[in-house]
Amino acid sequence: MSFRRLMRSGKPGSTIPRHRSKPLSPAAIVISLTLVGAALRFGTLDVQSVWLDESTTMVLVRRSLAGMFSHLYNEETPPLYFVLAWFWTRIFGVGVIGFRSLSALLGTITIPVMYATGRRISPRVGLWAAALTTVNPAMYYYSQEARCYALLILFSSAAFFFWLRALQEGDGRSLALWSAMSVLALLTHYFAIFMFIPEALLLMRRLGSRRMLAPVIPVILTGIALVPLALWQSSTYSEVLESTSTASRAAGAVKQFLVGLYGPLEVYSALLTGLLVVLAVALLWRHGETRLRWLALQIGSVGAVAVLLPLLLALMHIVAYSFEGRHLIAAWIPFALLVAMGLGVAHDRRMGALLGLALCAISIAVIVGIDTIPGYQRDNWRGVATALSSHPGASVIVTPSEGFVPLSIYLPRLELVSASRYPARELEFVALRSKHTGHAPLPPVVSTKPPPGYRLAEVKRTETYAIARFLAPRAMTTSTNVLRRIAMEASAEVLIHR
């Protein structure tokens, strides 16, 4: 008998058994992605230093609950995140890990929520939505920041899930839960309203205005109740973003959606990611069924309106600070689902898998690059504090604008100099690296010209900061204006470290 006939005969011992591995179930893949996301977020929580916005949160939440509420005018968002962070840090501590662990948990929970949302379309779409959420650099960044954005993304994704379910099934329970999640999102960030408006209009078109009255009213009342707080908080913050053009903020928002806030080779990574995203959407449009294309149009319109409405407000100078990447981050959700739909419904599954894996690989490369190259990370106030604390004794420190709050997180015995002149034997000038959009960060530049009566004692330079240390034979009284001129920054802060 020939070998081929022996293989086909079916006699005991005459065939070589084949063992085919059983494919993982969608649930097992989602659990794996969630664990990977948790490891990625929690495992690197303390790689980067606390920066300005995080430090203001930490200072605010370290107050009593009543004191925290009385100082909310320094923020630009509603109180829900701060309340949650206040209780969270009373359990897990008020250190950097204690604060950031809340965002890491919220970012991890968002992964299965995004799967559930995509699962409303198909299991493969849900898996790709979860995968993109796991490794997207912006999702990773906000999951490691002691700010409200991870909470905003979680509530917005949950609201989007119930919106999609209500759009498909029209049941009252979905409408009620969509309303509840929208209220929570609005209590987290004012600009959650830009997602709610198109969602409500599309549901109204599908179900009629009478059905939508009950779920819409709580969100509207919540928005009205927040107006006085928003007006109280907006008096100074808009001036910060008015200094940058709307066009540059628009480009920054697109880049943030694709490859995060700032990273190595960001122009090339953003262009390549953008090309892959366009190909994925093209696959959806070409190979998707009519029903899927219609659903994609509705999902895409939510994202488009959530971006275009604040853009219009910015162009009209009504609410200029609304159009900024972090405030628009909830709009990433519908756009990510569009990409996941393209990857999940591709006619050639291998093509969809290839595009999806390429997108994930770029995202992982960006995250690794940021975590291993300090210049692309948040401002390194921790490194500055470590260097300053290596010299015992009192000294006057001159930092870039708004350096006091983040530096005080690591140097508790730090005070702002309020007098116009101050005596000191030791002066230390601090400079940070500068972000250069589309390029490598610019190295820190610190003045080495000694003030009158002082001599240059030491210059410490790193990739992220530089410190020039000056000594005098005895305490010299120096004008703070002179110190700012030497620092070459009129808004430099003069501090005393005791």
Per residue in 257-275, pLDDT (tens digit) is 999 999 999 999 999 999 9
What's the pLDDT tens digit per position in 28-76? 999 999 999 999 999 999 999 999 999 999 999 999 999 999 998 888 8
- What is the phi/psi pair of residue 422, to 5°? -150, 135
Q: Which residues make Cβ contacts (< 8 Å) with residue 100, sequence separation at least 6?
A: 45, 46, 54, 144, 145, 146
> Domain boundary at 344, 376, 408, which?
376
Indicate the residue type of 99: F
- Please check whether residues 173 and 302 belong to one and the same domain: yes
**Tokens matching residue 41:** 């977020």
Domain membership flag for residue 160? yes
296, 390: one domain: no
Between strands 395-399 and 421-432, the pairing is parallel
Tracing tokens 């923020």 back to the chain, one arrives at 75
List the Cα angle 475/479/484 in 5-degree steps. 115
Together in a domain, 346 and 424:
no
pLDDT at site 4 = 44
* 3-state secondary structure at position 468: strand
Are residues 227 and 344 located together in one domain of the fold? yes
Going edge to edge, which strands form the sheet with 465-479? 414-416, 493-497, 395-399, 421-432, 465-479, 455-461
Other CB atoms within a 10 A radius of the CB of residue 316 amount to 9
Q: Say if 397 falls within a structural domain.
A: yes
Residue among 146, 156, 157, 143 nearest 84 (CA): 146
- 92 and 230 in a common domain: yes
Tell me, what's the pLDDT at 408?
94
Residue 224 lies in a domain: yes
Q: What is the pTM of this model?
A: 0.92
195 assigned to some structural domain: yes
Give the C-alpha distances (Å, rounded to integers) separating 51 from 383, 405, 407, 408, 430: 12, 9, 9, 11, 15
**Residue 418 covered by a domain:** yes
Let me know: does 374 contact 464? Beta carbons within 8 Å. yes
Name the domain boundary from 345, 376, 407. 376
153 plus 299 within the same structural domain: yes
Q: What is the DSSP string of 387-436?
A: HHHTS-S-EEEEESTT-HHHHHHH-TTEEE--SSEEEEEEEEEEEE-B--
Residues of the chain with pLDDT under 70: 1-21, 235-244, 320-322, 346-348
If asked whether residues 328 and 446 sit together in one domain, one would say no
**Dihedral through CA 295, CA 301, CA 303, CA 304, nearest 10?**
150
Q: Which residue among 376, 408, 438 closes a domain?
A: 376
The answer to whether residue 476 is domain-embedded is yes
pLDDT at 269: 96
Same domain, 392 and 370: no
pLDDT at 243: 55
Asked whether residue 14 is domain-assigned, the answer is: no
The total number of structural domains in the chain stands at 2
The Cα–Cα gap between 123 and 127 comes to 6
Alpha-carbon distance of 329 to 321, in angstroms, equals 14
The verdict on residue 144 lying in a domain is yes
- Do 398 and 352 fall into the same domain? no
Same domain, 423 and 307: no
Cβ atoms within 10 A of the Cβ of 368, count? 12
Indicate if 414 and 281 belong to the same structural domain: no
Compute the distance between CA of residue 152 and CA of residue 477 in angstroms, rounded to an integer: 49
Looking at the structure, tell me whether residues 177 and 322 fall in a common domain. yes
What single-letter DSSP state applies at residue 442?
Answer: B
Which residue range is the domain that position 220 belongs to? 26-376
pLDDT of residue 347: 63
